[in-house]
Amino acid sequence: MNTYMETAIKLSQKNLKTHDGGPFGAVVVKNGKIIGSSANCVLKNNDPTAHAEIMAIRAACAKIKSYDLSGCELYTSCYPCPMCLSAIIWANIKTVYYGNTKKDAANIGFRDDFIYEYIKGKQNTKTLKLKPLARKEAIKAFEAFNNQKNKTMY
């Protein structure tokens, strides 16, 4: 087995004892070295965004002092949820290796399918209501940003 995946799986197994979150672990690797790793910390941190992949990305970014993880790979014990997939894409990680499948996660009660359906445009108002409000005022910050000469795009 791959050493990095082995580390991700061990992190997921650790949570069976600590109950810090679900059975998920992830590591970020750059140039053959782990630069960020974490198990799921949702329960420990009282933070629904503290998934293993997100926490590993946060640790990696802090370590290299950059929001850009180009050239990195992510190893995760399970196929990433929609939130984690988005974070992986925003971090510029181009390769993800995963152990368990979405179906495996659903079989133990972690069902992300309703989010995938929502993203596909099959909005369910029981899931989320999105309502526009105060665009006239909000757009001013966008216009000012657009006019800045020295802005950093990410």
Residues labelled as active-site residues = 53
Long-range contacts of 58-66, Cβ-Cβ distance < 8 Å, separation of 24 or more: 59/28, 59/35, 60/28, 60/30, 60/35, 60/36, 60/91, 61/36, 61/91, 62/36, 63/35, 63/36, 64/30, 64/35
Torsion from C-alpha of 116, 16, 44, 95, nearest 10 degrees: -40
- Please, which residues have CB within 8 angstroms of residue 22's CB and are 6 or more apart in sequence? 15, 40, 42, 110
Query: How many residues can be counted in the chain?
Result: 154
